[in-house]
Amino acid sequence: MKTSRRLRDHPAVIAALAIAVVLGLLWLADSALAARAEARLSSSAERSAGLQSSPKSYIGGLPFAQVLVTGEVPLVSLDVLDVDVAGLGIVNARSEFAELEIPAARAYRGEIIGAPVSAVTRSVSLDGVALGQVLNMTDLDIKNPYDISPGGGVAAEAQLTGTPVGFDEPVSVLTKLRLDAGEFTMRVTDVLSAPEGREEEATEAFTLTRDTTSLPIGGPATAVYLAGGSITFEHARYRTVIAEEDLVPSATGNSRFTREGGGEPPRLPQP
């Protein structure tokens, strides 16, 4: 009773509480609409790409309902883990779309294909398992040699450790990763550990040259960087529209890691 009397004596407090409740309910409703749109987008990407599970999706905008007024969504992203891609094997992929121009009804349904955007950025990440398939090493480990935030651009560095074919123990090397007009090269700059007298063989085992236009990123790689124990290739294009294939890579692979039986490991396409 005393509490009720105090509230009646302070109408400003009552108004503030009412506003807080209304704003909270609006926020919950807005979050629910955004979550539903994200779920629909994930389901659509899963079906179109033939994936085993739904990718993780994010639709930006705070509040999401601002699209009713602006007709824009600032950011949409899709992340898919462990997709089996022909020529690569098991990889992780991400698609990011910036500044979408989209009617509110389509945004609420998670229908972004055909929407004009300021930028589409697609990337594919090869961890030790995926790059190990390319190099024919089952125990490959990738890490940043300097324990600093990863750099990105047309060049990067990585420390690789693995057991090449014909070796009885792991070899560790420092490599330079470089892009030149869409061609990726990985060159050994220092052999950190290898059996005595076999440094040249070790260098050859960790040397790679490949054309990135066949990677599932929509074009030749424009950036390569090291992050989270994976080598990531990225391609960006600007002032364009979202195509269905931009969502996530299709599951087109048949690697030995996702089928019964053996077989040769997949290779990146030759230039």
* Burial of residue 171 (number of CB atoms within 10 Å: 0-12, 13-18, 19+): buried
pLDDT digits (tens, 9 = 90+) for 44-67: 888 888 887 789 999 988 788 888
For residue 110, how many C-alpha atoms fall within 13 Å in the half-sphere facing its CB?
Answer: 20
Instruction: Give per-residue pLDDT as tens, 165-190.
Output: 999 999 999 999 999 988 999 999 99
Place of tokens 């195509």: 243
Collapse the DSSP code of 189 into the 3-class scheme (helix H, G, I; strand E, B; otherwise coil) and give the result: strand
Q: What angle do CA 146, 152, 156 make, to 5 degrees?
A: 50
End-to-end alpha-carbon separation of the chain, Å? 82
Question: How confident is residue 3, by pLDDT bands cut at 50, 70 and 90?
Answer: low
Per-residue pLDDT tens over the stretch 207-261? 999 999 989 999 999 999 998 889 999 999 999 999 999 998 887 766 554 443 3
Domain ranges across the chain: 2-246
- Dmax (CA) of the chain: 90
For residue 163, which of 143, 193, 140, 189 has the smallest C-alpha distance?
140
Q: What CA–CA distance (Å, rounded) separates 72 from 69?
A: 8
Burial string for 63-102 (b: 16+ CB within 10 Å, else e) reads ebbebeeeebbbebbbbbebbbbbbbbbbbbbbbbbebeb
Q: What is the mean pLDDT of residues 153-174?
A: 93
